[in-house]
Amino acid sequence: MQRKLVFVPSLLLFVLTASNLPQLPPVKNPLAPGQNPAAGCSTTDASSCAQIAAKLLPIVMGPSPMEENLRRLTDEIGGRVTGSPEMAKAVEWAVAAFRAAGVEVHTEKYMLPVIWSEGKTRLLFGVSSLLTTPPAEDVSFPLLPVHAVSVGWSPALAADEVYRLVDVGYGSEEEFRHAGSIKGEVLLVHSDIGSTWTDLLNEYLRPPDIIKRAVAGGAIAILWMGARERLLLYRHTNSLKGEIDKIPQAVVAREDAMRMARLVEEFPKTASAELLMPNKIGGPVEQQNVVGEIRGYEKPNEVVILAAHLDSWELGTGALDNGCNATLVIEAARAIKATGLLPRRTIRFVLFSGKEQGTIGSFEYVKTHRAELDKIRAVIVFDSGIGRVTGYSLGGRRDSESGVREILKPLESWGANNDTYDASFGTDNFDFLLEGVPTLVANQEEANYLPNYHASSDTLDKVDMRELKLHTVLAALTAWGIADRTEPLGKRLTRSEIETQMKETGLDRQMKLLGYWDAWQSGVRGRKP
């Protein structure tokens, strides 16, 4: 395990020393065994969960540094793509915020294989008889710019040519066949507007097959019709392992793409696109996860992780995804520390980077901490904006449900106790789940998450601070409860139990579609055979 303290300006160090933040000696823990027979989370009013919930509520709901922290992260640092200078600033921000909360903090390094940034993407569209000899039709519209952005981790494309634009509908095998030869052409792929979590899942599950067909047919590039309205642009990636994708791709503003589709239908031989994507690609480069820690008084080597990702895309400022929940993790640490109570087990507050490139930071964390995975009792992840929490997704595990219910009993009236047993890729619990560690991902209502997803509109004004504070209480109580209960929440599953869990939840199908299955089978990812 690498430990490194990040540089903090000397002025800040002075302030922290001068304020002389209170450190609670473990021996005085009022809930230590022997001092309180009801210690540990149970369903009784005397349980430590009931006591800590009563203490957390006023600390979190009252005046706190949370809003100012989030304002600085989003408005001042802004979008923070892993590998960028803004990401480095966000790491400094997180370290300083943990320290200001009086929570021990360090960072852990890993190598990001590729860094990527968008150049000046330019997409021109028109109807041009230049493409055919002799000119096929008399009609011609000049090539004019339309709204487009490069897909994240897309290869660069130099624009010195005009390509025929081919509409392949939604990109099914049949539609590709119907489109005929696509060799040397640019493809337009249709999308529906996304408004549910299932729609969002499909935005990731659909592309791999389409990309395969496009590459096999020798296409030059893919243009994805925007799945959000009103010319809103957003950054997607279809490369989920941090590698540069197989074919250049851009997202085209929905209204522009729909007009293009209409004109392709009208002028199939001469509808043309000129695409310039001078993306900058480099690396590998060292990146960091940020880890705050409150050590347990009885079983300090047993660990509960509360996590969110700190990185974001950069068209907006990453407020809903996931600045609000990165701030939640720090605030949960501040609040638990401020109660003056210590849990039996250690709680780690982890801010991962590399998430948007395929949960790279959490994968690296799992690899580095492989030797202690038997003692990681649970991983709790928040990564869905500020929609109301309805419960946790327990990654296919029914054995952890009663424990979670017991822990959240003090907040039963909040309606956050409808746990589900599904399992999915896509956020930072993934590699822990593949290792058999119990994971909890907050299930949240869609609220305003999807219309702003990865988009230029994902800004601070979208964050409902009251809701975020309520979620902070829930998150802190969940982490506390798992850390303080007498028994572990659930055991670490064996490889064959994990595989059963994958089949039951359909996670195996997702992994096959997205290209994760080989890594699981060969033991690169997940619990070793």
**Residues making contact with Zn ion (CB under 5 A):** 321-322, 383
Q: Taking Cα atoms as reference points, which of 214, 164, 154 lies closest to residue 189?
A: 214
Instruction: Compute the least distance from the CB of residue 440 to Zn ion, in Å.
Output: 16
Helix, strand counts (H, E) of the chain: 16, 17
Half-sphere exposure of 206 (CA within 13 A, CB side): 18
Q: Using the minimum distance from each CB to Zn ion, give the nearer residue, 293 or 321.
A: 321
DSSP H or E run through 328: helix 324-339
Beta bridge partners of 186: 165, 221
Instruction: Compute the least distance from the CB of residue 283 to Zn ion, in Å.
Output: 21
Q: Which two tokens stand for residue 153?
A: 């981790």
DSSP 8-state assignment for residue 53: H
Residues 297 and 303: their CA atoms lie apart, in Å, by 12
Instruction: Compute the least distance from the CB of residue 68 to Zn ion, in Å.
Output: 22
Instruction: Compute the least distance from the CB of residue 322 to Zn ion, in Å.
Output: 4
Q: Using the minimum distance from each CB to Zn ion, give the nearer residue, 321 or 484.
A: 321
- Those residues whose C-beta lies under 8 Å from the C-beta of residue 520, and which sit 6 or more positions away, are 434, 511, 526
Calculate ∠ Cα 238-240-241, nearest 5°: 140
Q: Using the minimum distance from each CB to Zn ion, give the nearer residue, 318 or 396.
A: 318
E-strand stretches of 353-498: 376-381, 389-393, 439-444
Q: Using the minimum distance from each CB to Zn ion, give the nearer residue, 256 or 321.
A: 321
Instruction: Report in angstroms the alpha-carbon separations of 147 from 161, 233, 254.
Output: 19, 8, 9
Residues 318 and 324: their CA atoms lie apart, in Å, by 8
Residues 1 and 5: their CA atoms lie apart, in Å, by 13
Q: Using the minimum distance from each CB to Zn ion, give the nearer residue, 125 or 382.
A: 382
Please check whether residue 478 is in contact with residue 407, taking contact to mean a CB–CB distance below 8 angstroms.
yes
Rounded to 5 degrees, what are φ and ψ at 13? -55, -40
Q: Using the minimum distance from each CB to Zn ion, give the nearer residue, 383 or 419.
A: 383
Instruction: Compute the least distance from the CB of residue 76 to Zn ion, in Å.
Output: 20
Instruction: Compute the least distance from the CB of residue 321 to Zn ion, in Å.
Output: 4
Q: Taking Cα atoms as reference points, which of 19, 24, 20 lies closest to residue 340?
A: 24
Rounded to 5 degrees, what are φ and ψ at 481? -60, -45
Residues 434 and 362: their CA atoms lie apart, in Å, by 12
Q: Using the minimum distance from each CB to Zn ion, give the nearer residue, 322 or 472.
A: 322
R_g (Cα) of the chain, nearest Å:
25
Instruction: Compute the least distance from the CB of residue 352 to Zn ion, in Å.
Output: 10
Q: Taking Cα atoms as reference points, which of 30, 41, 29 lies closest to residue 482?
A: 41
Instruction: Compute the least distance from the CB of residue 513 to Zn ion, in Å.
Output: 20
Residues 503 and 380: their CA atoms lie apart, in Å, by 22
Instruction: Compute the least distance from the CB of residue 428 to Zn ion, in Å.
Output: 9
Residue carrying the six token digits 């389409």: 210
Please check whether residue 278 is in contact with residue 156, taking contact to mean a CB–CB distance below 8 angstroms.
yes
Instruction: Compute the least distance from the CB of residue 79 to Zn ion, in Å.
Output: 13
Instruction: Compute the least distance from the CB of residue 454 to Zn ion, in Å.
Output: 9
